[in-house]
């Protein structure tokens, strides 16, 4: 999303619990390796009893940057990661010092390239656009728009069977 007045970009990263419909999210102007490490740390704190958290993601290069992967437990994917040719294959010394001991219990599950329909959270983003950001009336008030986005996502913080139905994850009785 962009604010026409200040041309400010707002990005949202989220996780959808496939069993409860709970949504965990964070906002930033830019999604960096450091931001994603902090997001994953907060996600692990939100699920302290989880032995392992599987995170289904598209193939955005930052999702598999070596500096990010050093913060996670060893990955067990069978498929090679896509990385731009000019990116390193090993984490930087700074990232290893900063996050190398974390070993967050997260496994990244990469989606096929250009297959966003395989990721249920994409349907949540569609619902967000339909219900909140499409033709919104806060063009001159970016903070109100951000508050409305947070309010929308926060309603699912503790789970929602309705959301599971909407994204196609409801298990029939």
* Percent of the chain residues topping a pLDDT of 70: 95
Residue 39 resides in a domain: yes
CATH number of domain containing 90: 3.30.420
Residue 74 resides in a domain: yes
Query: What distance in Å separates the CA atoms of residue 150 and residue 129, rounded to the nearest whole number?
Result: 13
**Where does the chain show beta strands of DSSP type E?**
11-16, 23-28, 53-57, 106-110
Residue 5 resides in a domain: no
Q: Could you tell me which residue, 69 or 133, shows the higher pLDDT?
A: 69
Q: How many domains, in total, are found in the chain? A: 1
Residue 154 resides in a domain: yes
Residue-wise pLDDT for 55-77, tens only, equals: 999 888 889 999 999 999 999 98
pLDDT at 19 over 80: yes
Least confident residue range of 73-77, 84-88, 113-117: 113-117
Residue 89 resides in a domain: yes
């Amino acid at each position: 999303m962009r604010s026409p007045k200040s041309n400010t970009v707002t990005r949202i990263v989220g996780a959808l619990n496939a069993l409860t419909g709970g949504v965990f999210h964070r906002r930033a102007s830019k999604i960096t390796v450091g931001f994603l490490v902090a997001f994953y740390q907060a996600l692990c704190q939100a699920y302290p009893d989880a032995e392992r958290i599987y995170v289904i993601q598209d193939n955005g290069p930052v999702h598999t940057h070596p500096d990010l992967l050093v913060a996670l437990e060893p990955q067990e994917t069978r498929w090679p990661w896509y990385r731009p040719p000019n990116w390193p294959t090993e984490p930087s010394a700074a990232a290893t010092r900063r996050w190398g001991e974390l070993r967050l219990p997260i496994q990244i599950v990469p989606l096929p390239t250009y297959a966003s329909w395989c990721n249920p959270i994409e349907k949540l983003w569609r619902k967000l656009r339909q219900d909140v950001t499409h033709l919104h009336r806060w063009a001159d008030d970016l903070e109100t728009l951000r508050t409305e986005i947070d309010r929308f996502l926060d309603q699912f913080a503790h789970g929602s069977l309705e959301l599971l139905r909407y994204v196609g994850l409801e298990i029939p009785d």
